[in-house]
Amino acid sequence: MLTIALPKGRIAQDSLVLFSKIFNQSINFDDRRLILRLENITFLNVRNQDVPTYVHYGAADLGIVGLDVLEERSDIDVVRLLNLNIGKCKVVVGSECGKPINYLKPRIKIATKMTNITQNFFSARAIAVDVIKLYGSIELAPLVNLADGIVDIVETGSTMKQNNLQIDEVIMHSSAFLIANQNSFYVKKDSILSLQEELKKLI
Ligand code: PRP
């Protein structure tokens, strides 16, 4: 019996398609249902950023989550099993077109959902930064002088384009990974590896 945490949001649909193929039936969470039980497997419908938490504490044996989320949650210890090559995106530093971040300022302000990645990136360059935590619509921040720039995810690039922002630098490339709880990987190794093989065939 395996429990798998699937993320809501941008990776959700692609991961449901993968598991629908493996289990040969349509896998969908009805309306607001958060648990889906099949014969030998249970799926949990969790927020993207929470997938590592469910897996780390063993509430889920496996999870699917973006590498960007894993980097942001570096406090959490899970086994990275397989790059699924879905949900590809970049984490970038961005600013308003024609208004680049002024790195000569004693401190810069960066708005982001990804505070750890941001802090680590600028600390490694010895740039003093005030990290302003937002929960969404990050691209708005430089346009209304809340911040000098942003660190955010770019997938198609259309949100930045439509808001007159440019990519200054790419911090990392990301895609979705299959991850496992350390203990589950030991105790349920056979079923986890066989599921990993099934996923490998599809990617
Ligand atoms: C993410 C990200 C960007 C956007 C990028 O936000 O924070 O805003 O997607 O995608 P694009 O390059 O394809 O335009 P999300 O859609 O998760 O919504 P949010 O702003 O509410 O977090």
Rounded percentage of the chain residues whose pLDDT exceeds 70: 100
138 touches ligand 1 (CB under 6 Å): yes
Closest CA to 203 of 17, 6, 10: 17
Atom index in ligand 1 nearest the CA of residue 159 equals 14
Residues 169 and 179 in one domain: no
Average pLDDT (172-184) is 98
For residue 78, pLDDT beyond 90: yes
The confidence score (pLDDT) of residue 13 equals 86
Residues 7 and 83 in one domain: yes
165: β partners = 96
Q: How does residue 9 score in pLDDT terms, banded at 50, 70 and 90?
A: confident
Residues 80 and 179 in one domain: yes
The confidence score (pLDDT) of residue 39 equals 87
Strand order of the β-sheet with 108-112 is 129-133, 108-112, 149-154, 89-96, 165-174
For residue 10, pLDDT beyond 90: no
The confidence score (pLDDT) of residue 172 equals 98
Residues 121 and 25 in one domain: no
137 touches ligand 1 (CB under 6 Å): yes
Instruction: Name every residue whose Cβ is closer than 8 Å to that of residue 90 and which is 6 or more positions away in sequence.
Output: 153, 154, 167, 170, 171, 172, 173, 174
The confidence score (pLDDT) of residue 28 equals 87
Residues 193 and 138 in one domain: no
Residues 169 and 180 in one domain: no
Weakest mean pLDDT among 13-17, 63-67, 93-97, 126-130? 13-17
Residues 143 and 94 in one domain: yes
Residues 81 and 93 in one domain: no
The confidence score (pLDDT) of residue 117 equals 98
Residues 93 and 163 in one domain: yes
Closest CA to 55 of 106, 4, 99: 4
86 touches ligand 1 (CB under 6 Å): no
Whether the full predicted model's pTM is greater than 0.85, yes or no, is yes
Residue that the structure tokens 């969790």 belong to: 46
196 touches ligand 1 (CB under 6 Å): no
CATH number at residue 181: 3.40.190.10
Rounded alpha-carbon distances, angstroms, from residue 122 to 143, 180, 186: 21, 30, 37
The confidence score (pLDDT) of residue 181 equals 98
For residue 29, pLDDT beyond 90: no
Residues 56 and 110 in one domain: no
What's the farthest any 2 CA atoms get from each other in the chain? 60
Higher-confidence residue: 191 or 10? 191
How many structural domains are present in the chain? 2
156 touches ligand 1 (CB under 6 Å): yes
* Domain encompassing residue 54: 2-87+175-201
pLDDT tens sequence across 112-125: 999 999 999 999 99
Residues 146 and 183 in one domain: no
For residue 12, pLDDT beyond 90: no
Residues 138 and 179 in one domain: no
The confidence score (pLDDT) of residue 31 equals 81
- Token pair of 112 as six digits: 């982001």
